[in-house]
């Protein structure tokens, strides 16, 4: 173990960094695109169901295949890896944002409107805060998935902990496979915990209490 770390320690750190970078950038892109899209979809429920099932289909394409498809279009390296992972991150965030906002109590929405909230105020002051726990659940889920899938980035030269795993497979060296897998798992757990902390920060106090009460 110590021996292995002495030999590969530096590389392990670099790869972990890459891995984290790929997954987080993809996740951030996913949030930036999917949350506003989800809010928009909540205004047009008819289109929403169709679009969400379409994105669901994208999700079923095997990840290796998506990575392979992207090689002719955007080449190899980190960028195509990020694009592919970004597509995977969309569905959970989009669906949870849409459902979270759709399920906000209609009485509250009507009161807000009747008080004279315009559309933007309704979204920012009312719908997003109330849907926050559901939206964050989607973001957490998709982040944990992304950290797992990011291992495949190595397949198209994106780097990351996947490099260790593929090397290990090719050289029949279980220690290398472990060196790729264990840090990825730890990363996933840490990411999930820190997002849980973000979630409790973003969830309005009044909602937290009412969950405890319920």
Partner 1 sequence: MLEFNNVTKRYADGTPAVKNLNLKIDKGEFVCFIGPSGCGKTTTMKMVNRLIDITEGDIRFDDKSINDQDPVELRRSIGYVIQQIGLMPHMTIKENIVLVGTLLKWSKEKKDQRARELLELVDLPEEYLDKYPHELSGGQQQRIGVLRALASNPPLILMDEPFGALDPITRDSLQEEFKKLQKELHKTIVFVTHDMDEALKLADRVVIMRDGEIVQADTPDEILRNPANEFVEEFLGKDRLIQGRPDVTTVGQIMEGCPVTVQTGTTLKEAISVMRDKHVDSLLVVDMDNTLQGFIDIESINLNYKKANHVEEVMEANIFSVAEESLLRDTVHKILRRGVKYVPVVNDAQQLTGIVTRATLANLVYDTIWGDGMELEEAAATAE
Q: Which residues bind partner 1 (CB under 8 A)?
A: 105-118, 121, 125-126, 129-130, 204-207, 209-210, 213
Residue 106 or 170: the one with the smaller Cβ distance to partner 1 is 106
The smaller minimum CB distance to partner 1, of residues 7 and 209, is found at 209
* Cα–Cα distance measured from residue 98 to residue 186, given in angstroms and rounded to the nearest whole number: 30
**14 φ/ψ angles, rounded to the nearest 5 degrees:** -60, -45
Please check whether residue 89 is in contact with residue 35, taking contact to mean a CB–CB distance below 8 angstroms: no
CB of 113 to partner 1, least distance (A): 7
Cβ neighbors of 91 (< 8 A, separation 6 or more) are 52, 55, 56, 58, 59, 142
Minimum separation from the CB atom of position 118 to partner 1 (A) = 5
For the chain, the straight-line distance linking the first and the last C-alpha, in angstroms and rounded, comes to 48
Residue 50: CB minimum distance to partner 1, A: 22
Minimum CB separation of residue 100 from partner 1 in Å reads 13
Closer of 1 and 214 to partner 1 (Cβ): 214
Which tokens go with 37?
Answer: 């899209």
Question: How many other CB atoms are found less than 10 A from the CB of residue 116?
Answer: 7
Q: How far is the CB of 45 from partner 1 (least distance, A)?
A: 17
Q: Which is nearer to partner 1, 62 or 114 (CB)?
A: 114
Q: How far apart are CA 176 and CA 165, in angstroms?
A: 6
Question: CA 72 to CA 68: how far, in whole Å?
Answer: 8
Q: Which of residues 78 and 113 has its CB atom nearest to partner 1 in the complex?
A: 113
């Amino acid at each position: 173990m110590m021996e292995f770390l002495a030999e590969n320690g530096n590389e392990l750190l670099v790869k972990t960094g890459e891995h984290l970078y790929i997954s987080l950038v993809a996740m951030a892109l996913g949030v930036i695109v999917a949350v506003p899209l989800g809010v928009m979809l909540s205004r047009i429920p008819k289109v929403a169901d169709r679009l969400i099932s379409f994105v669901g289909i994208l999700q079923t394409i095997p990840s290796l295949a998506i990575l392979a498809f992207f090689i002719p279009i955007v080449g190899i390296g980190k960028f195509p890896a990020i694009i592919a992972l970004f597509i995977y991150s969309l569905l959970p965030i989009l669906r949870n944002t849409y459902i979270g906002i759709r399920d906000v109590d209609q009485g509250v929405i009507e009161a807000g409107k009747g008080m004279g909230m315009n559309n933007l105020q309704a979204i920012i002051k009312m719908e997003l805060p109330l849907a926050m726990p559901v939206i964050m659940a989607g973001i957490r889920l998709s982040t944990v998935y992304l950290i797992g899938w990011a291992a495949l980035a190595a397949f198209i030269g994106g780097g990351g902990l996947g490099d260790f795993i593929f090397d290990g497979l090719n050289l029949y060296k279980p220690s290398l496979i472990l060196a790729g897998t264990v840090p990825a798992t730890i990363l996933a757990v840490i990411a999930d915990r820190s997002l849980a902390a973000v979630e409790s920060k973003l969830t309005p106090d009044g909602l937290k209490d009412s969950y405890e009460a319920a």
